[in-house]
Homo-oligomer: A and B are copies of this chain.
Amino acid sequence: MESEVRSYCRGWPVVFDRARGSHLYDEDGHAYLDFFAGAGALNYGHNNPVLKRALLDYIERDGITHGLDMSTTAKRAFLESFQNNVLRPRDLPYKVMFPGPTGTNAVEAALKLARKVKGREAVVSFTNAFHGMSLGALAVTGNAFKRAGAGIPLVHGTPMPFDGYLDGQVPDFLWFERLLEDRGSGLNRPAAVIVETVQGEGGINVARMEWLRRLSELCRTHDMLLIVDDIQMGCGRTGPFFSFEEAGIVPDIVTLSKSIGGYGLPMSLTLFRPELDVWEPGEHNGTFRGNNPAFVTATAALETYWADGQMEKQTLARGEQVEQALSAICEEGAGHGARYRGRGLVWGLEFADRARASAVCARAFELGLLVETSGPVGEVVKLLPALTISPDELDEGLRILARAVRETA
């Protein structure tokens, strides 16, 4: 009865029923260890008990559920907590926009704003970028298969090489800078550049900090806005709350979604420098942009995990644990030809033989571990455990992964 468009359920042909922390349970009661975390929407695990308590209390007491952009106590509490725990400690001056509850809404709003501010249509994105599936976001997304779904030619976007794309054969930004400086290059002058610091869907491609810094300078020099799409890599996925913190840059616009709601509830934010706030009232809107239960769990998550630097430290520590395991896999005979890369708690294991990545995921599933592929042709096994995963759970999952690699060799 459901459309052929569904995908994940094909690789995991069971019916899930319950979940808690890093485990899902199917309707027959089998447990699965989760290295997928809702594609990054469940950084705090499934049905995190602290957040759950806050959510139940809110629903019990008939807190506002659906609020459009009305002022509510839940929204105010979230905004205060976001200010206190996230923006102020990092000296980030952003204004907050609720553009609708999904990542693609946040990206659409970011692109609209950038174009409105600069009065230019063109936007530069990067090879293997993924920014969403509505037409605006899709036009800056790299994947040819997803682009083909648009049914119209996708225009106004130009891809540039992401960090490492040309295997170090070319100085960073040589091509981009040349195009910008040359009045005869044929590049429509961009309003903005949109970038992920680590490309999740694109195959766990990790930009170096100096590359991000150079990009930020390039944007400044050439009067382009820098949009960091932190939908998958924000909310602590790479360690710090924002993935760009380590680079010491302050993007002009930032998109957040996925784990910002904390509990897996739809929510997203578009953040921007206050001087960019040229929106007229109602110029962008959306029915579900005031998803108040998500504000409640979002606030609980910020208060619980981001009042101090603990979460960041823990994520980096867990990341080292992953790295060691991946290193071991790649050194083993069975992992021959595999390469790994990552940051914080997002890691990718790339196989030269492309069918292998799927085989590893399929075998892992049989062994009780949920992992997915990414990359342009699905050649990368993507590790995206909850940030709250315990060292033992992590270890268990990594051992299953190693076994799946061995058994598919």
A-side residues, CB < 8 A to B, are 1-10, 12-20, 24, 27, 38-42, 46-47, 52, 55-56, 59-73, 76, 79, 83, 95-98, 100-105, 108, 111-116, 121-122, 125-129, 132-137, 139-159, 161, 165-166, 169-171, 174-175, 178-179, 182-189, 191, 202-203, 231, 257-258, 263-266, 270, 272, 277-288, 291, 293, 375-377
Question: Of all chain B residues, which has the CB nearest A152?
Answer: B121
Decide: B184 and A174 in contact? CB cutoff 8 A. no
Decide: A4 and B66 in contact? CB cutoff 8 A. no
Decide: A102 and B100 in contact? CB cutoff 8 A. yes
Q: Which of B66, B137, B154 contacts A41 (CB 8 A)?
A: B66
Instruction: Return chain B residues, CB-CB under 8 Å to A3.
Output: 95-97, 270, 272, 277, 279
Decide: B103 and A104 in contact? CB cutoff 8 A. no
Interface of A is mostly: loop
Q: Which of B97, B135, B165 contacts A108 (CB 8 A)?
A: B135
Question: Beyond A121-B152, A284-B133, is A9–B70 a contact (Cβ under 8 Å)?
Answer: yes
Decide: A153 and B152 in contact? CB cutoff 8 A. yes
Decide: B291 and A265 in contact? CB cutoff 8 A. yes
Instruction: Return chain B residues, CB-CB under 8 Å to A165.
Output: 178
Decide: B166 and A185 in contact? CB cutoff 8 A. no
Q: Which of B5, B7, B178 contacts A166 (CB 8 A)?
A: B178
Decide: B287 and A186 in contact? CB cutoff 8 A. no
Instruction: Return chain B residues, CB-CB under 8 Å to A17.
Output: 63-64, 72-73
Question: Beyond A127-B182, A182-B376, is A188–B154 a contact (Cβ under 8 Å)?
Answer: yes
Decide: B1 and A79 in contact? CB cutoff 8 A. yes
Count the copies.
4
Instruction: Return chain B residues, CB-CB under 8 Å to A278.
Output: 4
Decide: A62 and B47 in contact? CB cutoff 8 A. yes
Decide: B41 and A287 in contact? CB cutoff 8 A. yes
Decide: B166 and A169 in contact? CB cutoff 8 A. no
Q: How far is the CA of A121 from the CA of B152 in the complex (A)?
A: 5
Instruction: Return chain B residues, CB-CB under 8 Å to A100.
Output: 102, 104, 133
Decide: B15 and A133 in contact? CB cutoff 8 A. no
| A238 smallest CB distance to B (angstroms) | 18
| A15 smallest CB distance to B (angstroms) | 5
Decide: B280 and A145 in contact? CB cutoff 8 A. yes
Decide: B5 and A97 in contact? CB cutoff 8 A. yes
Instruction: Return chain B residues, CB-CB under 8 Å to A266.
Output: 101-102, 266, 288, 291
Instruction: Return chain B residues, CB-CB under 8 Å to A270.
Output: 3
Decide: A46 and B69 in contact? CB cutoff 8 A. no
| A104 smallest CB distance to B (angstroms) | 7
Instruction: Return chain B residues, CB-CB under 8 Å to A96.
Output: 1-3
